[in-house]
Chain A
Amino acid sequence: MIQVEDLTKDYGTVVAVRGVSFSVGKGEIVGFLGPNGAGKSTTLRVLAGFLGATSGHVRIAGHDIAKAPLAARRALGYMPESAPLYPEMRVSEYLMFRARLKEVPRTERLRAIGGAMDRAGVSHMAGTVIAHLSKGYRQRVALADALVSNPPLLILDEPTAGLDPNQIRDVRALVKDLGSDRTVLLSTHILSEVEATCERAIVIDRGRLVAEGTIEELRARQRSTGLELRVRDPHAAAEAALTAVFGVSVRSGVTEETAPDRRRLRLGLDAALDADTVTEAVVQALTAAGIGIHALVPEQASLEQVFSALTRHEPSAAPEQSAETA
């Protein structure tokens, strides 16, 4: 549905997006991820045809946006960041205007508006003046606007920004629902949003594409750098045994309060070594010392960790991680 080749966009001397290439297939829900100011909105604005690319090619539903801008725009429903609307219009008036603008045939307009309002959950607000709507409802009206021409592709720029937790959950459910029969590209800087709604993510940082893949693939990019160990160890001998193993450092050791002979250890693994080999050495060392192993869990990288590792700006900073997994 979307093919982006070597897209660059600069604002005078500031380069907002540089050499980004990616594609989004039919029926996918893709998260466009990046910290604030990474170039997410700029990229989406180029895709939606609001901004022209400085160089590179963008094809929307097979139409080059530079050569056939109207055909490309007909194929997509775009919701800009912060959902701008005309405050003086009623919801139904606004959607009627948008339906006319998007060339919905006259006989189908009322049905299209009704359907869009139903899906976005604003049917009961049809007669309300937009100025009187809350932020959450404005967001939904903007979403209904994106849906009104029933486009095969939706581009949503931060659809949950500024909403309360309940509204965020509603919008995510709606996006998932919409994704069942069309392609959705949504931008966000909230990782849990991508994990909750998207099958695939594209990560950009400072105008460059830094990673692309399914959520699992992204997670796998971050190698396991820690082990969590539960052992039977009445004499606290495990730590001494482990310090002898090359490439392992004991981060913490806690004796369980209910069972004084059990300890919970967290180990850091040297990132330069193969994690599997080191794990094997750890097990051998503990067995040789006569310590019973109850559990051995490799720490799994959360998407947060992947994200911060990908978008960290100082390469020297060591990935000091928390134990929480996603």
Chain B
Amino acid sequence: MQFNFNSSEPIYLQVAQQIEDAIFTGGFKEGEQIPSTTEISKEFHINPATVLKGMNQLVSRKLLEKHRGVGMFVAEGASNQITLNRQQNFYNKYVIGVVKEAVRLNINEEDLKKLIEQGYKSI
């Protein structure tokens, strides 16, 4: 797990985001226990209440499961759910920004489509 904090968002959201990323990239596997609030809190000098708030975000999204007295576990199907969720947000998060910037740079729709095709080829 690689935590990289910035100041542009509340810390609890960043905690949630980073754990989600770790699940998405396979750093935390489904059914596996994730580090405790104290461990994360100690490692990154974040208030335990903030860490817990971030984790609870993921619990309410059913990506994490609380096992009483044991800790937090990655829920079955969490990775798929994250993918689905990110697909739904793809347009708002990326496409709109790309189109706006293209308009500012006088890149028309045709040219943008060509650039996207080129991008697909290069991967």
The answer on A and B forming one complex is no
Residues of chain A whose beta carbon lies under 8 Å from any beta carbon of chain B = none
Residues of B within 8 A of A (CB): none
